Amino acid sequence: MAVKKTLIPWSSAKPAPVVMISGNEPVLIRMAKDRIVTAARKSDPEEIEFDAAGYQGGELLMAASPSLFSSSKLIVVDSVEKCSEAFLADALTYLDDPNDDAVVILLHGGGNRGAKLVKKIEANGFPRVDAAALKNESDRAKFAQGRFKAAKRQIDEPGMAALMSALGADLSELNAGVDQLVEDTEGTITAAIVDQYYGGRVEATGFKVADAAVGGDAKSALSLLRHALSTGSDPVPLVAAVAMKLRGMAKVQGFSGSSGELASELKMAPWQVDRARREVRRWNEVALGQSLIAAAEADEAVKGGGRDPVYAVEWFVSEVCRLARQR
C-alpha cells in the first residue's frame, strides 16, 4: 500500500506527538515553529531543546518520557538533517510508541540524511510541515496575500504589484514589509502607501524604469534610470527588472483563459498575468522578440561581457522604449 503523504503548509502547522518541519526557508521555519510552540504552551509543558548533530544515545527517549515535574512535554530537535546515527536509531524507535502527552518538533533542513525517518513519519501518519524556499515570485506573492488575509487587511492590485516590485525578491524582507504595513497603516493598502514606505529601494526603482520603458515613455524611463545610477544603483538589477517584465509579457502573449487559470500554468500571480496582458497589447510580436534579444545582450554586457555597464543599461532601456512605440 502506498505511503500516505502528510506534507502540509506552514499555515496549517499545529501540535502533534511528532511533527517535522522540512525545508530551509528561515521565515517559514520560524512561523511554523511559532504556531506549534504557541499552541503547545497552553498546556504549560516542560520545554527541552537539543541538537541532533551532537546527540547522545538515549536523550530523546529520556526527554520524552513522563515527568514528575509536568504532565506534558515540548521538545524541539534542531539539525535533524545532520543527525548522528544514535539519534536516527532512537527517533525511529520512538516513532513506534510516542508519548501522547509530548509534542516533539523535528527541524530538518533538507538533504538525504534522515530519509528513513522522514518515510517513517509519513508512514505513521504524523505531519510534515513544508518549509521549502519559495523560488518564484508567484509563490511569494501568495504568501504575502495570505499574511494580509490572516491580519484581516486588504491590499489592492497596484499595491501588491508595488510591494512585490520593492520586496518580492526576498521572503524575509517581504514578510517584514507586510508586518510593517499591517501595523503602521489603516484601511486598504494602495500603491501610494507602499511607495511611501519602499519606493526608494533599488528594486522599486528598477521596476519603475521597466514600467516606463515598456510603455514607450523614453523621457521618464531614462530620467528614472539616470537618477538611479547617480545614486549608486547597480546596472545588473536594473537590467534584470526590465528583462523580467518583458519575459512576463512574452509568457502571456497568445494565451487565452482566465488570469487564475493562466497564473497556475505560467507560475505567475493572477495580478501579474493581468498586468502583463495589458502591457503586451501595445506590442507586436516582432518588437517583443527583438526586446528579449536586447535583454540577453544587455545582461551579458552588465555582467562583465561589455566595456561599460552604464552605457549597456542605458542603451537597453532606450531600445525597449523605441521598440515599444513600434506598431
Among residues 199, 227, 248, which one ends one of the domains?
Answer: 199
If asked whether residues 209 and 232 sit together in one domain, one would say yes
Specify the CATH number for the domain of residue 285: 1.20.272.10
> Which of 112, 130, 148 is where one domain is finished?
130
In this structure, are 126 and 181 located in the same domain? no
Residues 90 and 151 in one domain: no
Indicate if 210 and 255 belong to the same structural domain: yes
Domain identity same for 111 and 141:
no
Query: Is there a domain that residue 206 lies in?
Result: yes
What's this model's pTM, rounded to 2 decimal places? 0.73
pLDDT confidence of residue 175: 95
- The answer to whether residue 2 sits within a structural domain is no
- Of 9, 20, 11, 32, which is closest to residue 75 (Cα–Cα)? 20
DSSP assigned state of 110: S
- What radius of gyration, in Å, describes the C-alpha atoms of the chain? 25
Residue 238 in any domain: the answer is yes
Task: Give the number of domains in the chain.
Answer: 3
Non-local CB neighbours of 165 within 8 Å, separated by 6+ positions: 203, 204, 206, 207, 208, 241
Same domain, 21 and 94: yes
Boundary of a domain, candidates 180, 199, 218: 199
Q: By CB neighbour count within 10 A (0-12 exposed, 13-18 middle, 19+ buried), where does 149 fall?
A: exposed
pLDDT tens per residue, range 185-196: 999 999 899 989
pLDDT digits (tens, 9 = 90+) for 207-234: 889 999 999 999 999 999 998 888 888 8
Residue 265 counted as domain residue: yes
**Containing H/E element for 317?**
helix 309-324
Give the whole-angstrom CA distance, residue 157 versus residue 174.
16
Residue 202 is predicted with a pLDDT of 66
List beta partners, residue 106. 20, 77
Beta-carbon contacts of residue 119 (< 8 Å; ≥ 6 apart): 3
Asked if 214 and 310 sit in the same domain, the reply is: yes
The whole-number pLDDT of residue 262 equals 84
Predicted confidence at residue 100, as pLDDT, reads 92
Residue 206 sits in the same domain as residue 321: yes
Domain that holds residue 112: 7-130
DSSP 257: S
142 and 125 share one domain: no
Q: Are residues 180 and 195 in the same domain?
A: yes
Do residue 151 and residue 258 come from a single domain?
A: no
190 domain-assigned: yes
Instruction: Judge whether 1 lies within some domain.
Output: no
Residues of the chain with pLDDT under 50: 1-4
Residue 22 lies in a domain: yes
Q: Supply the CATH number for residue 74's domain.
A: 3.40.50.300
Q: How far apart are CA 153 and CA 188, in angstroms?
A: 7
- Determine the Cα–Cα distance for residues 187 and 167; give it in Å rounded to an integer: 21
46-51, strands of its sheet edge to edge: 7-9, 128-130, 18-22, 102-108, 73-78, 46-51
**In-domain check, residue 121:** yes
Q: Do 156 and 99 share a domain, yes or no? A: no
